[in-house]
Amino acid sequence: MNKNPLHTTIDKDDISLEFSGELTLYNLHEAESLIHALKLTNFQNIIINLQNVSYLDTAFALFLTDLQEQYKAKIQCEDKNFLHTLTLAKEHKKKLDKTIIRTKENLFAVVGKATYEAYLTFISFMEFIGRVFISFLYYCKDRKNIRIKEIVFEINASAIRALGIVALTSFLIGLVTAYQAAYQLERYGGNIFIVDMMGISIFRELAPLITAIVIAGRSGSAYTAQIGAMKITQEIDAMRTMGFDPFLFLVLPRIIALVIMLPVLIFIADMMAMLGGIIVADLSLSLTPSLFIERLREVVSIKHFYVGLIKGPFFAFLIASIGIYRGLMVKDDTQSIGFNTTKSVVESLFAVIVCDALFSIAFTNLGI
């Protein structure tokens, strides 16, 4: 490797850059530093002399073509191989510039590409759902196929251990909602109507939605991370090699566990949110717990409670399916786990909110 590949000859406004020895990637940085110190913008005529060069690689050739174009320099070289290398570098640079220009796509191209990618993701997810239903039919074919131990384990891991955070979150939501409503109702003497507002809003919307959001952030993301890690360590491939269907051992137990337990969590969320409302009504509106419960029994129909519970299995299926699907989409790097975990939470929340909106529209039109 030549330690000093560049010598200069200056004649008034002219400068000759005389390169010598081997011009490779290893002495490219040194040449760049020397040329930067020369301040070539002060010269009118710049000559790049390659007569004493013994070897030229493509990295240095790209640098020389950039130098030639930037300062409109002339190249002196009699070696045909070097000239051919410089020509190839220049053609490659033109193709690279065109590629960079093409990447600056217009709005329609960006929207079209995003739409097509979303379409492919949707088709892939529908294929996943189809395999889930086929596996479930195999489950129902014989009781021996049902993995009871796995389902019980997932019930404990994804639902029972989430009881504390669901209960606390729902209690605080009920507390805050009742407190905000109490301030307004007290101004107009409608203290008793806090029961009506809390009963309908908590049972129908808030408790199911808050529970689903908590479970999506806790259990849904855990599904993605667990299955993603198993895919990276090739445990899923090993299961297939040994003749075990991952859908029977990994996918269905998680989905069934969450479908079973989410209505239970919604029930607990209902009770804790109403407890928060009772405490605020007693402290801020002088509405005793017995009066609150009696009013709740009289004015809030049981159908509102059932509406909230009915949403549970649907929310659970969406959260578990999206979480597991994103886990199976993880590629062979740890960064992909973080990306798909984030995607699973965002997509689960979006799916739950859309599903809740559809339920609201359907129940309203049906008069429920």
Give the pLDDT mean for 288-316.
Answer: 90
Instruction: Report the C-alpha gap between 277 and 279 in whole angstroms.
Output: 5
Asked if residues 205 and 145 have their Cβ atoms less than 8 Å apart, the reply is no
Residue 30 lies in a domain: yes
Q: Do 122 and 174 fall into the same domain?
A: no
Asked if residues 46 and 74 have their Cβ atoms less than 8 Å apart, the reply is yes
Residue 189 lies in a domain: yes
| pLDDT for position 346 | 93
Give the pLDDT mean for 317-341.
Answer: 89
Q: Do 156 and 297 fall into the same domain?
A: yes
- CB-based burial, 247-264: b 16+ in 10 Å, e otherwise: bbebbbbbbbbbbbbbbb
Point out the domain boundary residue: 87, 103, 119. 103
Q: Do 156 and 112 fall into the same domain?
A: no
Instruction: Tell me which of 317 and 51 has the higher pLDDT.
Output: 317
Residue 79 lies in a domain: yes
Whether 100 shows a pLDDT value over 60: the answer reads no
Residue 222 lies in a domain: yes
Q: Do 10 and 154 fall into the same domain?
A: no
Q: Do 245 and 288 fall into the same domain?
A: yes
Q: Do 26 and 138 fall into the same domain?
A: no
Q: Do 267 and 290 fall into the same domain?
A: yes
Q: Do 180 and 265 fall into the same domain?
A: yes
Point out the domain boundary residue: 68, 103, 138. 103
pLDDT in tens, 124-174: 999 999 999 988 888 788 777 788 888 999 999 888 999 999 999 999 999
Q: Per the structure, how many domains does the chain have?
A: 3
Q: Do 175 and 295 fall into the same domain?
A: yes
Calculate the alpha carbon distances from 347 to 213, 343, 360 in Å. Answer: 11, 6, 20
The continuous run of DSSP H or E covering 23 comes out as strand 14-23
Instruction: Report the C-alpha gap between 314 and 264 in whole angstroms.
Output: 13
Residue 176 lies in a domain: yes
Q: Do 166 and 195 fall into the same domain?
A: yes
Burial of residue 24, with CB atoms counted within 10 A of its CB: 0-12 exposed, 13-18 middle, 19 or more buried: middle
Residue 1 lies in a domain: no
pLDDT in tens, 243-300: 888 888 889 999 999 999 999 999 999 999 999 999 988 888 888 889 989 888 888 8
Residue partners of 21: CB distance under 8 A and separation at least 6: 2, 5, 52, 53, 54, 55
Q: Do 196 and 288 fall into the same domain?
A: yes
Residue 9 has φ and ψ, to the nearest 5°, of: -130, 120
Q: Do 339 and 289 fall into the same domain?
A: yes
CB count in 10 Å sphere of residue 101 = 9
CATH number of the domain within which 48 lies: 3.30.750.24
Q: In the numeric block, which tokens belong to residue 201?
A: 């809003």
Instruction: Report the C-alpha gap between 31 and 47 in whole angstroms.
Output: 15
**Structural domain boundaries, residue 343:** 147-366
Residue among 16, 15, 88, 95 nearest 56 (CA): 88
Whether 3 shows a pLDDT value over 60: the answer reads no
